[in-house]
Chains A and B, each alone.
Chain A
């Protein structure tokens, strides 16, 4: 194997970063795209190019799900089996695909044409159940939709560059605005001309020519913009933590690692309205004094990354990025950095570790990133959606943004409705919308007229709410007060026939799979919990398992480097607390008895 033809591109890539080592993931992507996998020779080449020990390369290769340590099929068909897809029939879909291709997940067809892989959430929950063929998302596709399944498997067996036989997705995507989705109407995206025709970059021009950084921060604080990545921290306040007059460079890092099961929002911003993100980044970078920004985008997001890059290229060409932005003397460079399949990289310090070229392992705090983040320099990490709200605030004034929301949280959010609703999709709503309104009005209620059993309001990490608990506003504080969290606004709806043991198994599997493995309680606890839940699911549970699950999950809380461990504990605790009877009946009978009626029959 030779790498001579990759050297020039490798030089270019390394040149984008402050330190060669940060080019680890992109170089590995480069080799993998070229050779189909990352061979030991390729590991050696990467190590030599970056000046690191080869064991560092192997660490990275083995940590990220998308890097291949051995040759695979010419194409890869990934089937999502995470909760949202599972609720809408991904297990049956996977079986059908297995039968059709004649292989099991992890296997490659004998002629080497396609590898079948079972994956965790691809954050396309509005189109669940869905699959990904190489770079393309396809959904919704169910097992009984034989035409589509046949087209997909047919496609999968053909050569990668043959025309796609399967249809593009067409789930419901809001475009009614008022803040984030206004330009979502065209699935092909709004580009520079379209964006400026609608007043794009006016806010950035105003900021760069007439405001001081402090004034920008004041406006963002006044707008009550909260971090929409999940934690809800006030964005303007975070920006104010960057030390003034620091000698070190300051970095803006946009978190586009969208990975929380049940979530689908950032991808639409990047695919359909990428310039809104770039304009928001210009304003944020100006406010914090950054001249270099990275967008860390999850590895599975091929098309969003390509569209984002196209928008960046346009912005450079139009003078809206580079050494002298729009003739104002302000400089900003933007680099898109692709992840490689690790949910934990959404956690901001893990994201920084990954961006620095390592495994996606969260870092100890203190120090906090605003003081010492990327490459040891002050760094602000914000979610895509958070940043995409910023141009609106600077253009229309903070009062208007604040007025849309609740007292302590301004604006709107992109809610992703998935699971058992009539109309799954992505809906932009003021943050004070109630969960009931979302499910009943926007989502058209529970599918097939069934009764509601439970809702996860903010991505799989959020505690479950029962049918009686949905009259709450969806802003961070209200959902928090109801004992759960607004999180990533991924709303997963479950009807009365949903088996909670199976739901917990889905969550437990996810966390066991995705724990970065550093902290003893999280590494061991997630695996332990998953093994117990699996055993219960196989009909071998004991009643004492339930208390063990509660205490083990309790022991995982508050004792780790990042809050992933808590996130893994909450589903366990809340599902068992709210549906204990169902768990006990499952353990006693050894089978799924999801609805009250089913349980009554079983007891009779």
Chain B
């Protein structure tokens, strides 16, 4: 464990730690372009040079092993000069087109120039001309002139995706980053290069000219695209919807979590959020005419009364088709209110076969919380399949069938779905988006999307992670757990007062469910925490 001193402060680090990492431990940020902890060390940008006692030359902190007694200065006169010199070189051929660059505001050239540059520009020669605005793939745009040749993107496609699309061609100041002619950057993780690119050379096509980054708000969350649960940051605008045709969620960025997704996320997860602002269910609806099954807009009061009455009718036989898209808090309320108290049988359709996956992040199960459901005992061993519940509804053996999220047509086919809808059984639907089942329901209760609520998911490895509320629930939609509590009140279920907030529900859940024992909403924090291994989980793993 060598001890070294950085800017006069001492720190002990494990053998093999680099100075840039040691500085980080002290909260000292050494500016860098090419260095990235998730990639091999290139050492080419020369921005992280520091001043080391007894060393005749400045050293790059990213490749300098910390040694016993080393004395490092990151703010000395020499270190400042070194960084300013490098910045001047980097900006020599840079087009300086910040006013039309999407990176402006989060560009490390701009940022470092303000913090470490501020020299008198001397460059007066003709700049090297390269290509601008090349669409290199479905998601990514390249501007070669803005590129500072840090090689992060090249190392990413070499080392992480191993697809090798990027290259740096030619040498000297003719060197330019690009793809082999005719190739496209279409690997499943392509957009990560945009996050890696420290400047505006690689930008997101979907975000092009959409918003200045300083108008964006940011919320920490977790991707719901598959059971990996990559940690994310949601970037949204609520005060300028006119700018983007009502689109509220403007982009999703991966958030570092060493135990889940490191620094990355897949394109499908990143861009699979159109549904949040498209074809959403924003109003309560009810069926007015049994023959035509016409629906009209209704109110929450009417719906909760209607559904509540049906549920509390003496001896009501209730079936629920739950969804692994629901948060643990929703599922827990569902289990307690509908299952434990009203005796509902709760089915959970399995993940459809054939979901794509790889040996990196992408999992075949495209739902975010199947493991959470399993921990909560949903479905339990005795529960029939979703299809059996639908069959029971058709056969008149159910009084209420409440479907969460799923499209029955996909689960059991159009014929059975229609048969279930025309029978005696009350068909209740809760979900976020419109599909074939919605128009067949007696009641449609619009649900808030995961990005519109707080709560938790359990990922494929059993890690409990928090989703964050970035947006207000769409239209008149509500969190499932909220209206389930209203149902509880109307059906005489002994629901607890402190269930009102997600933290409260979680606390109760932690008391009731062994896998969550000892955890709290706070202790999960922004990096998640492991659930205790449970028997249910072990069994589910086996099957």
Please indicate the chain B residues that have their CB under 8 angstroms from the CB of A62 in the complex: 169-171
Stretch at the interface among B86-94, B357-365, B493-501, B504-512: B86-94
Question: Which residue on chain A has the smallest CB distance to residue B60?
Answer: A364
B453 to chain A, nearest CB (A): 43
Which residue of A is nearest B173, CB measured?
A527
Q: Which of B49, B93, B180 contacts A559 (CB 8 A)?
A: B49
Distance between B96 CB and nearest chain A CB, rounded to angstroms: 14
A527 to B125, CA, bound (A): 10
Q: Mark B130-162, 1 if CB is under 8 A from A, else 0.
A: 000000000000000000110100000010000
**Cα distance, A177 to B158, chains bound together (Å):** 51
Candidates B43, B148, B169, B171; contact of A58 at CB < 8 Å: B169
In the bound complex, what is the Cα–Cα distance between A221 and B498 (angstroms)?
82
A518 at the interface (CB under 8 A from B): yes
- Chain A residues contacting B309 (CB-CB under 8 Å) are none
Let me know if B174 is at the binding interface, CB within 8 A.
Answer: yes
Given A63-B171, A512-B173, A520-B45, decide whether A53 and B89 contact each other with a Cβ distance below 8 A. Answer: no
Q: Is residue B99 contacting chain A, with contact meaning CB distance below 8 A?
A: no
Question: Is A525 among interface residues, defined by CB-CB distance under 8 A?
Answer: yes
Whether B172 pairs with A527 at a CB distance below 8 angstroms is yes
B183 close to A (CB within 8 Å): yes
For B174, list chain A residues within 8 Å (CB): 517
In the complex, which residues of chain B have a beta carbon less than 8 angstroms from the beta carbon of A56?
164, 167
User: Chain A residues with Cβ under 8 A from B93's Cβ?
Assistant: 524, 527
Pairwise interchain contact A366-B85, C-beta atoms closer than 8 A: no
B181 contact set on A, CB distance < 8 A: 40
Which residues of A in the span 283-323 have a Cβ within 8 Å of any Cβ on B? Answer: none
* A566 (CB) vs chain B CBs: closest residue: B57
| Separation of A52 and B158 alpha carbons in the complex (Å) | 10
A63: B residues at CB distance < 8 A:
169-171
What string of 1s and 0s marks CB contacts (under 8 Å) between A332-360 and chain B?
Answer: 00000000001010000000000000010
Tell me if A49 counts as interface (CB < 8 A to partner B). Answer: no
Closest chain A CB from B84 CB (angstroms): 9
Contacts of A559 in B (CB 8 A): 46, 49, 57-58, 82, 85-86
Q: With an 8 A cutoff between CB atoms, is B299 at the interface?
A: no
Q: Which residue of B lies closest to A40 (CB)?
A: B181
A364 touches B41 (CB 8 A): yes
Check A514 for interface membership: any CB of B closer than 8 A.
Answer: yes
Q: In the complex, what's the smallest C-beta–C-beta distance from A570 to chain B, in angstroms?
A: 15
A186 CA to B181 CA, complexed, in Å: 50
- Please name all residues of chain B whose beta carbon is closer than 8 Å to the beta carbon of A513 when the two chains form the complex: 172
Cross-chain contact A517 with B179 (CB below 8 angstroms): no
Interface 1/0s, chain A 541-574, versus B by CB < 8 A? 0000000100110010011110000000000000
Whether the pair B123, A528 counts as a contact (CB closer than 8 A) is yes
The reply on A404 being an interface residue by CB < 8 A is no
A342 vs B57: C-alpha distance when bound (angstroms): 27
CA distance in complex: A59, B170 (Å): 7
Contact A521 B85, beta carbon cutoff 8 Å: yes
A38 CB to closest chain B CB (Å) equals 13
A515 within 8 A of B: yes
A-contact bits for B31-58, CB 8 A (1 contact / 0 none): 0000000000111111101000000111
CB within 8 Å of A: which B288-337 residues: none
| A/B interface sample: 18 pairs, CB < 8 A | A53-B158, A58-B167, A359-B168, A366-B65, A512-B172, A513-B172, A517-B175, A520-B45, A520-B46, A523-B149, A524-B92, A524-B173, A526-B173, A527-B172, A527-B173, A528-B125, A559-B46, A560-B46
Q: Besides A364-B43, A526-B173, A527-B128, 19 other CB < 8 A contacts?
A: A43-B180, A53-B163, A54-B180, A54-B183, A55-B165, A55-B167, A58-B167, A364-B60, A366-B63, A515-B173, A517-B172, A519-B45, A520-B47, A525-B89, A527-B93, A527-B173, A548-B122, A558-B56, A561-B44
6 tightest Cβ-Cβ pairs between the two chains A and B: A53-B164, A527-B173, A55-B167, A517-B175, A524-B89, A555-B85
* Residues of A in contact with B (beta carbons under 8 Å apart): 40, 43, 52-56, 58-59, 62-63, 342, 344, 359, 364, 366, 512-521, 523-528, 531-532, 535, 548, 551-552, 555, 558-561
